[in-house]
A and B are shown apart, each in its own frame.
Chain A
Amino acid sequence: MKIREIVPLLEAEVLCCEEDLDVEVCNACGSDMMSDVLAFVKDQTALLTGLVNPQVVRTAMMVDMRCIIFVRGKCPTPEMIALAEEGHIVLLATKLRMYEACGRLYVSHLAGGD
């Protein structure tokens, strides 16, 4: 699935790296615990999280993720957006809660990764 297709599915706002919306993601991971994310290493993963601090972006950088989706209306700081731009990571924000956001992606055939 292209990141571009996630935007309408989650009624999301694109916060940065609009030029990378055609990047493909093959699976997704929903978590507020970054070490759990680091234990789950897959190529082309999108991260859904309600956590807002720069370590979310660094965690994504470490595992080569290209898309982070902030749920529950959480908004990343300008510092996080700058970091994401540096790492070419698309940041999306949705008002949906974690459960519903994950559910909508899952039924749209974005795998859980295992």
Chain B
Amino acid sequence: MGDELRFHFNIDGDNFTSAGEASVEVKKKLRQLGFPPDVIRRVSIAMYEGEINMVIHARGGDADVLVYPDRIVIILEDHGPGIEDIDLAMQEGYSTAPDSVRALGFGAGMGLPNMKRYTEEMHVESTLGVGTKITMVVNVQ
């Protein structure tokens, strides 16, 4: 620890339109730093799904991206309602999102599975009524 580059973002939970801006910013920064396109894409998708989740379910939160030479760590933390059954939420197709969110193209129950699909490690800590913290690691091959 200590030699990483760290980027912090506050995710606005009241604005679905701006959701994803932090992920676009991370993508730009990783490109400038010269990471391989596949790594950049996996980090961007995982973070973007997380960002959308925070806006849909938790009225926003905080995102930190820690960049090491050999891995990128994404930490997403919110103070939303928490996830009741994490195993169930990790199943493709399971969603608690309302129809209004589905009409916007999300809430198909693919968010968390996609985050797992594109990362080497994913840890979900959640307490009902307190919030959720998701830590993801993408290795740089």
Contact = CB atoms under 8 A, between A and B. Distances in A.
Q: A and B: partners? A: yes
Tell me the interface secondary structure of chain A in the complex.
helix
Contact of A54 (B17, B23, B102, B106): B17
B16 to A, nearest CB: 8
B77 interface: no
Contact of B52 (A33, A55, A64): A55
B41 A34 contact: no
Given A35-B110, A58-B20, A53 B105 contact: yes
B41 A38 contact: no
A24 interface: no
Contacts of B108: 33, 35-36
A9 interface: no
Tell me the interface secondary structure of chain B in the complex.
helix
B27 interface: yes
B102 to A, nearest CB: 8
B111 A62 contact: no
5 tightest Cβ-Cβ pairs between the two chains A and B:
A35-B110, A58-B20, A34-B105, A62-B44, A33-B108
A39 interface: yes
B107 to A, nearest CB: 8
Nearest to A53: B104
B117 interface: yes
Most buried by A among B108, B111, B113: B108
B48 A64 contact: no
Contact of A39 (B17, B24, B117): B117
28 contacts: A33-B105, A33-B110, A34-B106, A35-B114, A36-B108, A38-B110, A38-B114, A39-B113, A41-B45, A49-B105, A53-B17, A53-B105, A54-B17, A54-B20, A55-B16, A55-B20, A55-B52, A55-B104, A55-B105, A56-B105, A58-B19, A58-B48, A59-B105, A61-B24, A62-B23, A62-B45, A64-B37, A79-B17
